[in-house]
Copies of this chain bind each other. A is one copy, B any other.
């Protein structure tokens, strides 16, 4: 990555789990970061948490040492600290009225040149855009957890976003070590989420009919889809398999897929019963007490490995073996 503080300062508003992780990603990329904690209790813990994340980055050889990067961070409750930022990323909770108030405060602190991005995954960018003074400079910048260790970044235009600014953030994101995607319309759920919901619609349909178990579905995805996903994605996979079979099977299977619109009963039941998955050891699987933490640890380590693997197998590198 870049030297610490070698780039222009970026603002981050919101220092929850995701916000901290985004701060770490931007520090590693070489930006000084001006972090705003709208929730006063978040501020004191943030540097320690972000320090821990930077040590993970160091252990993964993304940076040489942590302190110089951590020195490029300021944490404040005062939005005035955002003055001079050309980009501010909002990652507060998914409530329109709270986000709206946050945008007022950001706008009060920055110049008219500043681009404001939201990390929302739940609210349409075109909606949030109504709350800012210059909608053309507002867009979605959606990260994947942990932001400092994933290559994914989804940039989404709202109806009023000027594509020039989306393009600018798209370019910047390459400098952050990301493989950004640019979505020109803010369809609900953006790309991966929306596509995965297509999977969920079909799989709940099959599970409810007793055609397969949850365990079997997870195995199929881990070992079958998982065996090519990180190498190829969707369309490269089709090219790899050859296209003719797909064409005939698309026509046969599309009419048989579920078109349901209701919420599957098992999910309603889980929520009724207060199941929060690994977070309270009750979910679609059963968990021993404390097992949730193990999954956090495992995901952090796995992510580091798959991150490295994805880089080794970029399309450019596959092609380069030709020479």
Q: Which residues of B contact A243 (CB under 8 A)?
A: 267, 270-271, 275-277, 283-284
Measured in the bound complex, the distance between the Cα atoms of B262 and A252 in whole Å is: 9
Measured in the bound complex, the distance between the Cα atoms of B318 and A211 in whole Å is: 28
Q: Is the CB of A299 within 8 A of B251?
A: no
Does A212 interact with chain B (Cβ within 8 Å)? yes
With A283-B238, A321-B294 as known contacts, state yes or no: A219 contacts B277, CB within 8 Å. no
Closest residue on chain B to residue A285 by CB atoms:
B239
Does A194 interact with chain B (Cβ within 8 Å)? yes
Does A45 interact with chain B (Cβ within 8 Å)? no
With A222-B229, A239-B278 as known contacts, state yes or no: A271 contacts B244, CB within 8 Å. yes
Name the residue in A210, A256, A287 with the highest tally of chain B Cβ atoms < 10 Å from its Cβ. Answer: A256
Q: Is the CB of A309 within 8 A of B303?
A: no
Q: Is the CB of A227 within 8 A of B152?
A: yes
Q: Is the CB of B187 within 8 A of A224?
A: no
Majority-rule SS of A interface residues: helix
Q: How far is the CB of A91 from chain B (nearest CB, A)?
A: 15
How many copies altogether? 2
Q: Which residues of B contact A31 (CB under 8 A)?
A: none
Q: Is the CB of B184 within 8 A of A212?
A: yes
Interface residues of A in 204-242 (CB under 8 A from B): 206, 209-214, 216-236, 238-242
30 contacts between A and B (CB under 8 A): A122-B249, A144-B223, A150-B227, A152-B227, A154-B220, A179-B222, A179-B223, A180-B219, A194-B257, A197-B250, A198-B201, A200-B250, A214-B235, A218-B236, A221-B233, A223-B230, A236-B284, A238-B283, A239-B283, A239-B287, A240-B299, A243-B271, A243-B276, A243-B277, A247-B268, A247-B271, A250-B263, A250-B264, A254-B261, A290-B322
Please give the residue numbers on chain A whose beta carbons come within 8 Å of chain B beta carbons, in ascending order. Answer: 122, 144, 150-152, 154, 179-185, 187-189, 191-203, 206, 209-214, 216-236, 238-247, 249-264, 267-268, 270-271, 275-279, 283-285, 287-288, 290-291, 294-295, 297-299, 302-303, 305-307, 309-310, 313, 318-319, 321-322
